[in-house]
Amino acid sequence: MTSDEGSAVMKAVAIFDWHDGPREGFARMETREGLWWYFRTLATRFDPDDVDQCLYAFSEVAADDALVLERGFGAGEGRPVIWPGDPGEVPATTAEVVERVAAAVPPPSLIGRVVGSTGRCELWRIYTSFGFPG
């Protein structure tokens, strides 16, 4: 696996939207120490007998912002934080980073899909630039 494709375990840390699984939020990748990602659903395939299948777009979070997220949310152990949730749950500086990064809708550099219930995510690098409509 190269540093930006292959597979990794996705640890959803903060979730903004949920429907049959996380739709948008922040995650860490188990094989990417210290690297935080903003993720957003890119495409969904409905499955009437199981959870929907999703493709996610992952945008790397800047190192300074990642440090703030790490201090505010931890390293992804335990249950993810549902955002916005309880305002007292995270420090104000973390809330500021969350709001700024999510509002900016950064261009993604990886596309991935979660396989099974283990959180293992298959990843593909994006070679062309695109973004989400603001």
pLDDT digits (tens, 9 = 90+) for 65-86: 988 888 887 765 666 666 666 5
For 58-112, give the DSSP string.
EEEPPHHHHHHHHHHH-SS-SSPEESSS-GGGS-HHHHHHHHHHHHH-PPPSEEE
Helix (H, G, I), strand (E, B) or coil at 73: helix
Q: pTM to 2 decimals?
A: 0.77
Cα torsion 117, 70, 87, 37 to 10°: value is -50
Residues in a beta bridge with 81: 14
Residue 116 C-alpha from the chain's centroid: 17
Residue from 21, 31, 47 nearest 110 by CA: 31
Q: How far apart are CA 51 and CA 78, in angstroms?
A: 22
Q: Which residue has the tokens 């957003």?
A: 40
Q: Please tell me whether residue 117 adopts helix, strand or coil conformation.
A: coil
- Helices then strands, each counted (H, E), the chain: 2, 7
Q: Is the pLDDT of residue 37 over 80?
A: yes
**With 80 as the cut, is the pLDDT of residue 26 above it?**
yes
Domain boundaries, the chain: 6-125
Which pair of tokens denotes residue 101?
């990064």
Average pLDDT over residues 94-107: 83
